[in-house]
Amino acid sequence: MYTKRQLFIVVIITAIIFTVVGFFINRLKNNTFQAGLDAAYQRLISSGNASIAVRGYGYRESKNIGGFLKEIYPTKIILNVDPINPLADPKLKTRSIEIINKTKIYKQVEKTIEQQEQDAEEFKKKMKLFNENPEAEIPELPDLFNKQEIEISDLKIGDRIIATAENNIHDQKEFKALEIILEF
């Protein structure tokens, strides 16, 4: 019969062995933080929480980001990003957006009833063509707003904007904007 002390030592040695073996198996699989993060996103998506994972910055490639203006300079703006996905890096809550020569700044302008009706008719025609030929590209929904070009001086702290970059910015703290839209 084993004494309590012997049993305790056996349990400790077994725990150490399993911990070391688990550590090395984990290392052999090359399990990284990113792999774990991807698994967490996939779990969110499969559990019906795709809106959190897919919309959230820091998971999928993104060239657009939205939020509220925190600071405005002649060639740069600081953006407080909308509540980011709970799994994203908290450091990305604030972004620095450089305004370059080819940056276009617009504000959204509401379309007239006639423009909306015309867009709806065009969309119906495109959908009819798509239904006749499922191989065709799915038509995009018409925009609800027109864009009117403005200057950076027309932006104000607290305005809500959407910035678009040329490259993937999902994990970029700073980037150059191609387009900035002041939301309606």
Interval 153-179 mean pLDDT: 91
Torsion sign, CA atoms 143, 148, 152, 156? negative
In this structure, are 89 and 144 located in the same domain? yes
As a whole number, the mean pLDDT across the chain is 82
In this structure, are 74 and 130 located in the same domain? yes
In this structure, are 18 and 73 located in the same domain? no
Interval 20-47 mean pLDDT: 68
Give the model's pLDDT for residue 60. Answer: 60
| Greater model confidence, 63 or 30 | 63
Give the model's pLDDT for residue 158. Answer: 94
Residue 179 has pLDDT above 90, yes or no: yes
Inside any domain, residue 116: yes
Which residues form the domain of 22? 4-31
- The helix/strand/coil state of 134 is coil
Cβ–Cβ < 8 Å for 135, 56: no
Inside any domain, residue 45: no
C-alpha 132/C-alpha 89 separation (Å) is: 45
In this structure, are 65 and 103 located in the same domain? yes
**Is this structure's pTM higher than 0.75?**
no
Inside any domain, residue 25: yes
**Residue where the block lists tokens 């774990």:** 36
Inside any domain, residue 87: yes
